[in-house]
Amino acid sequence: MECFFCVLEVQDMTSYQDFVMNKLSTIENIGNTNSIFVMAEIKHSTGLEF
């Protein structure tokens, strides 16, 4: 079993639902999906501070 991680940025939940229902779920080899939603970003950094 292979797992993939996909990050999406959509305009609204309707756009997300459209993507999942009409694009992602039509791919034959995808058995199931899980979603996690970020409502707002508090801090964005890519480096470690020492």
pLDDT tens readout for residues 4-32: 888 888 999 999 999 999 999 899 888 88
Residue 47 has pLDDT above 90, yes or no: no
Query: In this predicted structure, what is the pLDDT of residue 17?
Result: 93
In this structure, are residues 19 and 8 in contact, taking their beta carbons and an 8 Å threshold?
A: yes
Cβ distance 23 to 14 under 8 Å?
Answer: no
Overall pTM surpassing 0.75 (yes/no): no
Could you tell me which residues come within 8 angstroms of residue 16 by beta carbon, excluding any fewer than 6 positions away?
8, 10, 35
Return the biggest CA–CA distance within the chain.
Answer: 46
